[in-house]
Structure 1
Amino acid sequence: MRRSVVAATVLTTLALFLGPAATARADVASPPRILGGTVHAADFALGPGDSRTFFVSFDAEDDSGISRNNAEADLLGPAGRQLQADPRQAGTDICTPHADNPKRSTCRFTFTVRGNRWSLTNADAGLHELYVLVAANDWVPREEGGLVTDGRLDSIRIKRKAQLTADAFPEPPRPGHPLGVVGRLTLADWDNGGYTGAPEGLPARLVYKADGSTRYEYPADLTTGRGGVLATAVPPRPDGIWWLAHDGTDATPWVYSAADHVDMP
């Protein structure tokens, strides 16, 4: 975003003075009113090098009208780092007055995030909350009046893309002996590129479907070990398909392994 005097004096510290329990803040008794904000995207996951562009908007009003370009929207993530909107295109305004009510404006922003350390770190995966600032037309820099901020208007979860493997053994199983299943959950490594083992303690499930059946069974609940490894052993079952599944968290998406078909001897 092209920065004005607002950016130099206030916007770069937006996340700091809002803090984790922020509420609307203003400099005068009758500041602009922020009427609500929206992140126009569903939660998504990024692989290494992937990118995603989405839009954010909020509405505000003031008796003098809303300044067209003294506004900002930031997304504050779990690691405390704020993601800033893309620079606005030359010749365009951030905030546009409503045709039927010039005292009220809609302010729009574009965000582009990428799965690399210049945009996101692994610690940034999770919930990102929308914080905004806007100025009225009668606001004068370095003087009180006409400036307002608000936070936690909406949110989006930006997750690390996941991969999951599964292998059942031995094949064919030995009659009367357990069937072993091992796999590994890996996550996009935004810090270094590629994929890396998931942290310990993430939930996963063993899934089974017998041949000819439409019923899915969940013989074991698991958690990842060191490096994202998963392992279990269960009593053998009739011929069928086995998977491992991770249902996802705030920072990771759901993912299923490829199916492994096991025939009983």
Structure 2
Amino acid sequence: MRIRATVAAVSGALALSALAVPAAQADDGRSWTPSGLFAPRQAAPERMAARSVTATDDLKITKVVVNGGKPVVVGTKSPQKYSVAITATDDSGIADAGTALWIGDDIESEDSFGFFQNEDAAKCKAVNATTSTCTLSVTFDPAFMINSDATSWHVAAAVLSNDGQIVDNTKFGKTKVQRFSKLTANAGPEPVKKGKTLTVTGKLTRAHWDTGTYKGYTQQPVKLQFRKKGSSTYTTVKTIKSSSTGTLKTTVKASADGYWRFSFAGTSTTPAVSAAGDYVDVK
């Protein structure tokens, strides 16, 4: 187990005032209290009592896009910041928005875990008199993540209209969170005589959040590809599997000058990655 921050929510609406999020304590002894807020903070005092509205009212969240629609990918060291764009509409216009990305069954459960928006207030850009797209960012810190977090996360969104209404949805959509991957390739000997055997080695690794390191991604299909000198296109020569430690090794016959690389198509938990091409001079 590890520390999970309780992702709290106000029943019926996301809070517009500072949201206190208690730290959770797990068996490993770590604890963490997010500093972010789950909803707008800059609202005027008279808006603090704004009511929660239903989907039948004028205020509606129409779309939420995380990272431009691409998966969130996190390594082992540096926190990664990703955008969240919330589009909403109301007769009075849109004043602000809030968000959190979280994992778990119930956002109010102590077993849930998530990351809050970085900003005190969203940057909202009007599409027209009634509709705006509000942009925020959420930072994923690998120091608080474990390998099982590589899955689909819930996207929570809250919106404040200019006339003081609030609408929220703690499960508006989902976004995929993945473990950053690395891939290497080395071909030799260099140079090599035409027709002789060329050995290509490498390793496929991915972020291991439990330990904060990179470890081999085992038994995965990886393509060996070749790009002839003067060409801009790689062609697949064969497909091999990574070993029990993530290593790769195969042989081919040298036929022409060019670049050799390994390419991995990715999985649901790990993004696609291609190694830099290694140039081999064929004599």
| Inter-partner Cα distance in structure 2 for 1:247 and 1:133 | 36
Determine if contact 2:60/2:167 at 8 Å carries over to the other structure. Answer: no
RMSD (Å) for aligned C-alpha atoms: 4.4
Residue 58 of structure 1: aligned partner = 86
| Inter-partner Cα distance in structure 2 for 1:60 and 1:46 | 29
Superposed, which structure 2 residues align to 1:64-83 within 5 Å? 73-76=99-102, 82-83=113-114
In structure 2, list runs of 5 or more residues that go unmatched. Answer: 1-5, 15-20, 22-51, 107-111
Residue 15 of structure 1: aligned partner = none
In structure 1, list runs of 5 or more residues that go unmatched. Answer: 13-25, 140-145
Secondary structure of the residue aligned to 1:123 is: helix
- Relative to structure 1, the CA distance from residue 235 to residue 131 in structure 2 (aligned partners, 3 Å threshold; closer, same or farther) is same
| Inter-partner Cα distance in structure 2 for 1:79 and 1:48 | 26
| Inter-partner Cα distance in structure 2 for 1:234 and 1:84 | 47
Determine if contact 1:79/1:124 at 8 Å carries over to the other structure. Answer: no
Residue 217 of structure 1: how far off its partner (Å): 2.7
| Inter-partner Cα distance in structure 1 for 2:155 and 2:209 | 22
Residue 256 of structure 1: aligned partner = 274
Residue 179 of structure 2: aligned partner = 160
The answer to which structure has the higher strand fraction is: 1
Higher relative contact order, chain-length normalized (CA < 8 Å, sep 6+): 1
Determine if contact 2:115/2:138 at 8 Å carries over to the other structure. Answer: yes
- Relative to structure 1, the CA distance from residue 106 to residue 45 in structure 2 (aligned partners, 3 Å threshold; closer, same or farther) is closer
1:219 matched to 2:250 = no
Residue 74 of structure 2: aligned partner = 46
- Relative to structure 1, the CA distance from residue 222 to residue 72 in structure 2 (aligned partners, 3 Å threshold; closer, same or farther) is same
Residue 26 of structure 2: aligned partner = none
Residue 24 of structure 2: aligned partner = none
Secondary structure of the residue aligned to 2:9 is: helix
Determine if contact 1:243/1:256 at 8 Å carries over to the other structure. Answer: yes
- Relative to structure 1, the CA distance from residue 36 to residue 257 in structure 2 (aligned partners, 3 Å threshold; closer, same or farther) is closer
- Relative to structure 1, the CA distance from residue 130 to residue 228 in structure 2 (aligned partners, 3 Å threshold; closer, same or farther) is same
Residue 202 of structure 2: aligned partner = 183
| Inter-partner Cα distance in structure 2 for 1:263 and 1:65 | 64
- Relative to structure 1, the CA distance from residue 75 to residue 173 in structure 2 (aligned partners, 3 Å threshold; closer, same or farther) is same
Determine if contact 2:194/2:255 at 8 Å carries over to the other structure. Answer: no
Superposed, which structure 2 residues align to 1:62-141 within 5 Å? 73-76=99-102, 82-86=113-117, 88-89=119-120, 92=121, 100-101=129-130, 109-116=136-143, 118=144, 120-133=145-158
Of 105-114 and 229-238, more deviation after overlay is shown by 105-114
Report % sequence identity: 28
| Inter-partner Cα distance in structure 1 for 2:230 and 2:132 | 59
TM-score by length of 1: 0.62
Secondary structure of the residue aligned to 1:226 is: coil
Residue 259 of structure 2: aligned partner = 241
Q: Deviations over 1:72-131 (max 9, x none)?
A: 533355999653323653xx5x69797945xx7766543111233x1x323323544533
Determine if contact 2:100/2:117 at 8 Å carries over to the other structure. Answer: no
